[in-house]
Amino acid sequence: MTDNEQRLAGENPLHRLLEWPPVYRLATLLLAPGSESRLNALIVRCAKEIGISGDALDVGCGPFSRLADQGFASVTGADVSPVYVAALQKSGVRGVVSSADSLPFPASSFRTVWNIGLLHHLPDEVMQGAIREMLRVSGPQGHVVVIDAVMPRSAVLRPFAWITRKLDRGRHMRTQAQLESLIRACGGDWTFQRETYALNGLECLVASGTSRA
């Protein structure tokens, strides 16, 4: 676990409540209404588009894996929180306690590596380390899919989304251009697509990439 991620693990006592899985899900329902079904549909669509099956790694998955919920056959979840990993294992999904930028797996261990909603919690250096690690453990025959929050293009057009983003416990919320630039700098071949995934106008960037190695 990096020093940065240790600090991000819950400095604010209110944020530590989110380590309790029922509170985590309730917060998602309240702050991102409609996101459960829309994100799940987005994951299924991405999986069909890349056309790769096999072992999948869910990096920064939290207390449950959306991949397992969508019927992926072989899923491993990795999260920096032991509480989240314990909840994950209780649900029947293999889990490991790990920093996203130091994954304990050999190169090319997984056919697909996913990261959903983690990057805006990480400073640039740690975030890019996580991207490089995901490319490494997926290898040249695998695929990486990143789905992460981005700021609205306009606070006037999407005021509720703007306020929600400003109040997010993630301290590193980025614009689409900022996130794309940081990801591209990590190497690999990437495509990007912006999506609206909640009824209050919250948007995410979907980055789909492969290693050039």
Tokens of 8: 């991000």
Percent of all residues in the chain with a pLDDT value above 90, rounded to a whole number: 64
The pLDDT assigned to 200 comes to: 86
* H/E element, 142: none
Q: Report how far apart, in Å, the C-alpha atoms of 5 and of each of 26, 88, 127, 173, 189 are.
A: 24, 19, 10, 16, 27
Q: Report how far apart, in Å, the C-alpha atoms of 39 and of each of 74, 87, 192, 195, 210 are.
A: 20, 21, 16, 10, 22
Residue 30 pLDDT > 70, yes or no?
no
Per-residue pLDDT tens over the stretch 4-16: 344 444 445 545 5
Sole residue written with tokens 């975030």: 127
Q: What type of residue is 37?
A: S
Helix (H, G, I), strand (E, B) or coil at 56: strand
Sole residue written with tokens 């301290």: 171
DSSP state of 37: H
**Residue 72 burial (C-beta neighbours within 10 Å; 0-12, 13-18, 19+):** buried
The pLDDT assigned to 4 comes to: 38
Q: Does 213 or 183 have the greater pLDDT score? A: 183
CA triplet 166, 182, 164: central angle to 5 degrees? 15
**At what angle are helices 176-184 and 124-138 packed, to 10 degrees?**
50
Domains within the chain, CATH numbers bracketed: 3-210 (3.40.50.150)
From the list 183, 39, 58, 190, the residue with the least C-alpha distance to 111 is 58
CA distance 98 to 101: 8
Residue 147 backbone dihedrals phi, psi, to 5 degrees: -125, 115
